Amino acid sequence: MRTTVNCPGEGRNKVMLVVAALLVFASIWLPYWQIHIVAPQYPKGLNVIVYVTGAGGDVREVDGLNHYIGMRPLGKAAPLERKISIPGLSAIALALLLLALLPRPRWLQILFALPVWAVPFVFAGDLYYWLREYGLNLDPKASLSAMIKPFIPPLVGPGKVGQFQVYAWFHIGYFVVLTAGVLTFVAVYRRLTCKQLWQVVPAVTRAATTIAFLMMIGLALYGQEQITPHSSLSAEGRGLKEPAIWVVTPQSGLSLQQAIRLARPDDTIRVIGGEHRGNFIVDKTLTLVGEGSPTLNGEGRGSVIHLKAPRCVLRGFVIRHSGTVLSTQDSGVQVSAPDCIVENNRLEKVLFGVHLQHADRTVIRHNEIYSHDLPVARRGDQIRIWYSHHTRVEDNQVVGGRDLVFWYSEGVIIRNNRVRNCRYGVHFMYCNDSLVEGNHLEGNSVGVYIMYSEGVQVRANQILRSRGPSGMGLGIKDGYRLQIEQNLIAGNRTGLFIDNGEGIYKENWFLRNDVGVHLVLAVKPNLFQGNRIVENIEQVQMDRANSVAGVRWTGNFWSDYAGYDADGDGLGEVPYRAMKVFDQIAASNSALRLLTYSPSVQALDFGARLFPLFAPQTMVTDEQPLTRPGPPPLIRSEEPSTTRSKWLLTALGLLMLGVLGMRTQPSSRQGKRLLTPKRVGLSNMSRSSDKSDRTSQETKPMVIQVERLTRRFGTLTAVDNLSFAVREGETLALWGANGAGKTTILRCLLGLLRFEGEALIQGHSVKQEGVIVRQQVGYVPQLIHLHPDMSVQETLYFYAQLRGVPMERADALLDEWDLSSHREKTVSALSGGMKQKLALVLALLSDPPVLLLDEPTAHLDAAARAEWLDLLRRLKAQGKTLLFCTHQFNEVRTLADRVIVLERGRKVAELTGAQFTRLWQQQGSLRLTVPPNQAEQALRTLQEAGYNTEGSDGLILVRQLEAKQVEPLSLLLRAGIEVLDYEWRPPSEPPDWTLLEETTRFGLLTSSPTSDAHLNPPTKGEDSPLWSDKAAPKQWELVRLLAHKEVRDARRNRWFLMLMGIFVALSLLLTLFGLTGIGQSGASGFGRTFASLLNLSLLIVPLMGLLLGALSIAVERDQQTLHTLLAQPLTPATLVLGKFLGTMLTLGAAVLIGFGSSGLIIYMAGADVPLTPFLMQLGLTLLLGWSCLALGLMVSVLVKRGAAAVGVTLLLWLFLTFISDLGIIGTAIALQLRASTLLWLTLLNPLQVFKVAVIQLMEGNLEVLGSAGLYARDALGDAVLPVLSGILVAWVATPFLLALGWFARRGAIE
* Residue 375 sits in the site that holds another protein (CB under 8 A): yes
State which residue, 448 or 840, has the beta carbon closest to another protein: 448
Give least dist CB 1261 to another protein, A: 6
Which residue in the set 89, 288, 422, 446 belongs to the binding site for another protein (CB under 8 A)? 446
State which residue, 121 or 1240, has the beta carbon closest to another protein: 1240
State which residue, 424 or 1063, has the beta carbon closest to another protein: 424
Asked if residue 1284 lies in contact with residue 1256, where contact means CB atoms within 8 angstroms, the answer is: yes
Asked if residue 946 lies in contact with residue 975, where contact means CB atoms within 8 angstroms, the answer is: no
> CA 67 → CA 62, 70, 140, 705, distances in Å?
8, 5, 11, 122
* Residue 445 sits in the site that holds another protein (CB under 8 A): yes
Which residue in the set 228, 684, 1237, 1294 belongs to the binding site for another protein (CB under 8 A)? 1237
* Residue 472 sits in the site that holds another protein (CB under 8 A): yes
Give least dist CB 622 to another protein, A: 26
Among the listed ranges 308-316, 445-453, 823-831, 884-892, the one in contact with another protein (CB under 8 A) is 445-453
State which residue, 108 or 523, has the beta carbon closest to another protein: 523
* Residue 411 sits in the site that holds another protein (CB under 8 A): no
List residues bridging with 449 in a β-sheet: 427, 475
Could you tell me which of 316, 364, 363, 357 has the C-alpha nearest to residue 339?
363
* Residue 1072 sits in the site that holds another protein (CB under 8 A): no
Among the listed ranges 979-987, 994-1002, 1077-1085, 1235-1243, the one in contact with another protein (CB under 8 A) is 1235-1243
* Alpha carbon distance 1174, 172 (integer Å): 94
State which residue, 432 or 556, has the beta carbon closest to another protein: 432
- 643: alpha, beta or left? (left if phi > 0; alpha if psi -120 to 50): beta
* Alpha carbon distance 922, 834 (integer Å): 36
* Alpha carbon distance 1083, 488 (integer Å): 10
Give least dist CB 553 to another protein, A: 23
Asked if residue 1035 lies in contact with residue 771, where contact means CB atoms within 8 angstroms, the answer is: yes
Which residue in the set 130, 185, 430, 947 belongs to the binding site for another protein (CB under 8 A)? 430
Give least dist CB 385 to another protein, A: 13
* Residue 477 sits in the site that holds another protein (CB under 8 A): yes
Burial 1188-1217 (b: 16+ CB within 10 A, else e): bbbbbbbbbbbbeebebbbebbeebbeebb
Could you tell me which of 972, 680, 969, 988 has the C-alpha nearest to residue 811?
680
Which residue in the set 6, 1000, 1011, 1232 belongs to the binding site for another protein (CB under 8 A)? 1232
H or E element, residue 533? strand 532-534
* Residue 408 sits in the site that holds another protein (CB under 8 A): yes
Which residue in the set 318, 376, 871, 1164 belongs to the binding site for another protein (CB under 8 A)? 376
List, as one string, the DSSP characters of 738-767: TTSSHHHHHHHHTTSS--EEEEEETTEETT
Give least dist CB 1237 to another protein, A: 5
How many residues lie near another protein (CB under 8 A)?
45
* Residue 1241 sits in the site that holds another protein (CB under 8 A): yes
Cα dihedral 1244, 1247, 1248, 1253, rounded to 10, equals: 110
* Residue 1282 sits in the site that holds another protein (CB under 8 A): no
Among the listed ranges 185-193, 299-307, 400-408, 657-665, the one in contact with another protein (CB under 8 A) is 400-408
Give least dist CB 295 to another protein, A: 30
Q: What share of the chain is helix, strand, coil (3-state, %, to 5)?
A: 45, 20, 35
Give least dist CB 387 to another protein, A: 7
Among the listed ranges 571-579, 952-960, 1001-1009, 1270-1278, the one in contact with another protein (CB under 8 A) is 1270-1278
Asked if residue 764 lies in contact with residue 771, where contact means CB atoms within 8 angstroms, the answer is: no
Backbone angles phi, psi at 923, to 5 degrees: -85, 0
Which residue in the set 128, 130, 387, 817 belongs to the binding site for another protein (CB under 8 A)? 387
State which residue, 381 or 769, has the beta carbon closest to another protein: 381
* Residue 507 sits in the site that holds another protein (CB under 8 A): no
* Residue 82 sits in the site that holds another protein (CB under 8 A): no
* Residue 373 sits in the site that holds another protein (CB under 8 A): no
Give least dist CB 583 to another protein, A: 19
State which residue, 430 or 889, has the beta carbon closest to another protein: 430
Characterize the bridge pairing of strands 164-170 and 33-38: antiparallel
* Residue 469 sits in the site that holds another protein (CB under 8 A): yes
State which residue, 409 or 1285, has the beta carbon closest to another protein: 409
Characterize the bridge pairing of strands 702-713 and 557-558: unpaired
State which residue, 468 or 1082, has the beta carbon closest to another protein: 468
Long-range contacts, 820-825 (Cβ 8 Å, 24+): 822/792, 823/791, 823/792, 823/793, 824/791, 824/792, 824/793, 825/791, 825/792
State which residue, 568 or 1277, has the beta carbon closest to another protein: 1277
Instruction: Describe the crossing of helices 1132-1165 and 1035-1051 by its angle, rounded to 10 degrees.
Output: 50
Among the listed ranges 426-434, 788-796, 1033-1041, 1044-1052, the one in contact with another protein (CB under 8 A) is 426-434
Q: Which residues, including other chains, have CB under 8 Å from residue 1264's CB and lie 6 or more apart?
A: 471, 493, 514, 593, 596, 597, 1255
Neighbours of 438 (CB within 10 A): 16
Which residue in the set 475, 572, 905, 1295 belongs to the binding site for another protein (CB under 8 A)? 475
Say how far residue 1196 (Cα) sits from the centre of its chain. 36
* Alpha carbon distance 209, 205 (integer Å): 6
H or E element, residue 55? strand 54-57
Which residue in the set 25, 175, 449, 1174 belongs to the binding site for another protein (CB under 8 A)? 449
State the binding string over 312-331 for another protein (x if CB under 8 A, else -): --------------x-----
* Residue 1274 sits in the site that holds another protein (CB under 8 A): yes
Runs of H (alpha helix) within 194-255: 197-200, 203-227, 235-238
Could you tell me which of 1121, 379, 303 has the C-alpha nearest to residue 786?
1121
Which residue in the set 377, 613, 1013, 1230 belongs to the binding site for another protein (CB under 8 A)? 377
State which residue, 30 or 1270, has the beta carbon closest to another protein: 1270
* Residue 467 sits in the site that holds another protein (CB under 8 A): no
* Residue 460 sits in the site that holds another protein (CB under 8 A): no
Q: Which residues, including other chains, have CB under 8 Å from residue 1054's CB and lie 6 or more apart?
A: none
Asked if residue 1122 lies in contact with residue 1309, where contact means CB atoms within 8 angstroms, the answer is: yes
Among the listed ranges 736-744, 1053-1061, 1188-1196, 1238-1246, the one in contact with another protein (CB under 8 A) is 1238-1246
* Residue 402 sits in the site that holds another protein (CB under 8 A): yes
Backbone angles phi, psi at 1305, to 5 degrees: -80, -45
* Residue 1235 sits in the site that holds another protein (CB under 8 A): yes
Say how far residue 212 (Cα) sits from the centre of its chain. 99
Among the listed ranges 57-65, 402-410, 457-465, 693-701, the one in contact with another protein (CB under 8 A) is 402-410
* Residue 1271 sits in the site that holds another protein (CB under 8 A): yes
* Alpha carbon distance 363, 627 (integer Å): 44
- Give the type of residue at 879: G
Asked if residue 305 lies in contact with residue 282, where contact means CB atoms within 8 angstroms, the answer is: yes
* Residue 478 sits in the site that holds another protein (CB under 8 A): yes
Runs of H (alpha helix) within 384-515: none
* Residue 497 sits in the site that holds another protein (CB under 8 A): yes
State which residue, 322 or 466, has the beta carbon closest to another protein: 466
Q: Which residues bind another protein (CB under 8 A)?
A: 326, 375-377, 387, 402, 407-408, 423-424, 429-430, 432, 445-446, 449, 451-452, 468-470, 472, 475, 477-478, 497, 499, 590-591, 1232, 1234-1237, 1240-1241, 1244, 1261, 1263, 1267, 1270-1271, 1273-1274, 1277
